[in-house]
């Protein structure tokens, strides 16, 4: 029989108890709908921020693109469930699923070709992946049309509750995978840029996604997304159970990844790229791995978020908000999973909950004046975050402390 470590046991038991307490509070009505929503958003933010922490906190790639992948995930999942819920067709599900699978096949084929020829530069690899993937996705869309009818009939046989849940979970997963696949193609060339330039390019990505969503009905041709007017009528089926389950899975995946040799390689890239390369670590590949996985989490979280309020608006995904996950992981402490989760819930509770309640009547607009002041005070008092270097026993590992390069300004750049 497999031996379960004591810390793991404690963690799982603690998680279950926490889940049950919150679930009890929610179902007994002690928590109002307002606070329920806030807790759900806190959980979703925790997933997004864990993804970003993987990219920035553990792999050292300064990414502002997390919010763009979150947006992609949200709109993808919303479109799939919307078409089922409102239009009673599984068309979006079929097409998206096929597109995701075909893109995966395209990646596999191009990956083989690139590996076999070896002489490509980054831009060429990017171009190859892009062209082949676009072609395969086009094929998938073509193939999806005739398949829609039988799949819809298949789902129609199920009881409506069950089919809704199945499609919802599939939608969330597809959203994650789609975000991951886009991040893979986008990350290929952009990850070679290096720290600040990578951050700027990913910020550009977020803005491009936002602009596309603003014009989703006219330019992209998704009439139901209604562009800048906001998408309404998405089923509100994200429950605390699903958010918590996904959060738990993500925490587990991040923990196990970081404990594995892959995780050590990812961290070594953050510590010192040249040294990591000298140790035989394929730096580019691990950067890409962290980026893709982080974006996958962002897509998942987006899928969950879309079904909390049943309403999506492109302004939720504008670039100002894209700093939120960055603020959360710096608050919680870079490279701390515990800190990220705690800070996400804390951020949601303080910003959306307490600040609204504490501020007196007529001072609601002061919320965003108090928030940056809190931010400034926090940064001045604890520049390394609340949980910098602190970790729960279950998540703790032999990770070296944060490197000098993240704590101070890099010396090599100054001495050029």
Residues 350-389 that bind another protein (CB under 8 A): 365-366, 368-369, 371-373, 375-376, 379-380, 383-384
Nearer to another protein, 138 or 368 (CB): 368
Residue 193: partners with Cβ closer than 8 Å, 6 or more residues away: 201
The alpha carbon of residue 241 and the mean position of all alpha carbons in its chain are separated, in whole angstroms, by: 18
Q: Answer yes or no whether residue 258 interacts with another protein by CB under 8 A.
A: no
The minimum distance between CB 38 and another protein, in angstroms, equals 20
Q: Answer yes or no whether residue 327 interacts with another protein by CB under 8 A.
A: yes
Nearer to another protein, 345 or 371 (CB): 371
When binding is defined by CB under 8 A, the residue of 41, 71, 207, 342 that contacts another protein is 207
Distance CA 27, CA 15 (A): 18
Distance CA 406, CA 58 (A): 11
Distance CA 189, CA 311 (A): 34
Angle, alpha carbons 331-337-342 (nearest 5°): 55
Residues 269-308 that bind another protein (CB under 8 A): 273-274, 277, 280, 282-285
3-class SS shares of the chain: helix, strand, coil, % to 5: 75, 0, 20
C-alpha closest to that of 83 among 75, 93, 98: 93
Q: Answer yes or no whether residue 211 interacts with another protein by CB under 8 A.
A: yes
Decide if 242 contacts 47 (C-beta within 8 A).
Answer: no
Which stretch, 164-172, 195-203, 303-311, 339-347, contacts another protein (CB under 8 A)?
195-203
Nearer to another protein, 303 or 332 (CB): 332
Stretch 34-73: interaction string toward another protein, x if CB under 8 A: ----------------------x-----x-----------
Nearer to another protein, 160 or 383 (CB): 383
Residue 371: partners with Cβ closer than 8 Å, 6 or more residues away: 351, 355
The minimum distance between CB 76 and another protein, in angstroms, equals 19
Give the E-state strand segments of 277-400 in sequence order: 311-312
The minimum distance between CB 194 and another protein, in angstroms, equals 3
Residue 97: partners with Cβ closer than 8 Å, 6 or more residues away: 170, 174
Query: Which bin fits 410, alpha (ψ -120 to 50), beta or left (φ > 0)?
Result: beta
Residues 122-181 that bind another protein (CB under 8 A): 122-128, 130-131
Q: Answer yes or no whether residue 415 interacts with another protein by CB under 8 A.
A: yes
Nearer to another protein, 277 or 313 (CB): 277
Nearer to another protein, 98 or 207 (CB): 207
Q: Answer yes or no whether residue 200 interacts with another protein by CB under 8 A.
A: yes
When binding is defined by CB under 8 A, the residue of 177, 258, 265, 334 that contacts another protein is 334
Nearer to another protein, 113 or 257 (CB): 113
Nearer to another protein, 244 or 347 (CB): 347
Which stretch, 8-16, 171-179, 197-205, 350-358, contacts another protein (CB under 8 A)?
197-205
Q: Answer yes or no whether residue 262 interacts with another protein by CB under 8 A.
A: no
Q: By three-state DSSP, how is residue 47 classified?
A: helix
The minimum distance between CB 204 and another protein, in angstroms, equals 4
Q: Answer yes or no whether residue 330 interacts with another protein by CB under 8 A.
A: yes
Distance CA 267, CA 335 (A): 9
Q: Answer yes or no whether residue 413 interacts with another protein by CB under 8 A.
A: yes
Element (DSSP H or E) covering residue 384: none
Which stretch, 15-23, 72-80, 137-145, 193-201, contacts another protein (CB under 8 A)?
193-201
Q: Answer yes or no whether residue 215 interacts with another protein by CB under 8 A.
A: yes
Distance CA 299, CA 181 (A): 10
Which stretch, 9-17, 47-55, 101-109, 113-121, contacts another protein (CB under 8 A)?
113-121
- According to DSSP, the residues that pair with 312 across neighbouring strands are 231
The minimum distance between CB 274 and another protein, in angstroms, equals 6
Decide if 293 contacts 276 (C-beta within 8 A).
Answer: no
Distance CA 251, CA 242 (A): 14
The minimum distance between CB 79 and another protein, in angstroms, equals 20
Number of residues that bind another protein (CB under 8 A): 78
Distance CA 94, CA 168 (A): 13
Residue 323: partners with Cβ closer than 8 Å, 6 or more residues away: 64
């Amino acid at each position: 029989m497999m031996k379960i470590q004591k810390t793991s046991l404690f963690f799982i038991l603690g998680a279950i108890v926490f889940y049950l307490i919150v679930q009890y509070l929610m179902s007994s009505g002690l928590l109002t709908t307002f606070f329920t929503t806030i807790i759900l958003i806190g959980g979703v933010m925790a997933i997004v921020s864990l993804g970003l922490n993987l990219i920035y906190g553990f792999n050292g790639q300064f990414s502002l693109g997390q919010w763009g992948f979150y947006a992609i995930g949200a709109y993808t999942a919303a479109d799939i469930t919307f078409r089922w819920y409102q239009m009673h067709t599984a068309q979006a599900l079929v097409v998206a699923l096929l597109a995701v699978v075909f893109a995966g096949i395209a990646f596999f084929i191009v990956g083989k070709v690139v590996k076999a020829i070896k002489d490509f530069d980054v831009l060429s690899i990017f171009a190859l992946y892009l062209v082949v993937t676009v072609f395969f996705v086009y094929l998938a869309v073509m193939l999806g049309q005739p398949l829609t009818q039988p799949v819809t009939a298949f789902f129609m046989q199920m009881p409506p509750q069950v089919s809704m849940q199945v499609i919802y979970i599939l939608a969330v997963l597809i959203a994650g995978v789609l975000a991951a696949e886009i991040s893979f193609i986008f990350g290929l060339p952009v990850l070679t840029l290096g720290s600040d330039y990578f951050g700027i390019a990913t910020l550009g990505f977020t803005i491009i996604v936002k602009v596309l969503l603003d014009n989703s009905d006219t330019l992209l041709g998704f009439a139901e997304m209604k562009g800048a007017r906001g998408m309404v009528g998405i089923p509100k089926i994200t429950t605390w159970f699903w958010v918590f389950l996904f959060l738990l899975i993500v925490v587990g995946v991040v923990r196990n990844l970081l404990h594995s040799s892959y995780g050590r390689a990812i961290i070594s890239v953050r510590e010192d790229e040249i040294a990591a390369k000298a140790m035989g670590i394929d730096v580019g590949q691990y950067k890409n791995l962290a980026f893709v996985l982080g974006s996958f989490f962002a897509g998942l979280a987006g899928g969950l978020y879309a079904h909390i309020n049943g309403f999506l608006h492109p302004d939720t995904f504008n670039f100002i908000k894209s700093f939120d996950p960055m603020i959360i992981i710096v608050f919680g402490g870079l490279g701390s999973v515990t800190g990220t989760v705690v800070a996400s819930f804390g951020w949601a509770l303080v910003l959306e909950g307490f600040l609204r309640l504490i501020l007196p009547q007529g001072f609601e607009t002061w919320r965003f004046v108090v928030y940056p002041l809190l931010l400034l005070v926090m940064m001045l008092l604890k520049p390394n975050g609340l949980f910098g270097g602190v970790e729960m026993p279950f998540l703790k590992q032999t990770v070296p402390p944060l490197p000098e390069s993240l704590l101070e300004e890099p010396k090599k750049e100054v001495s050029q």
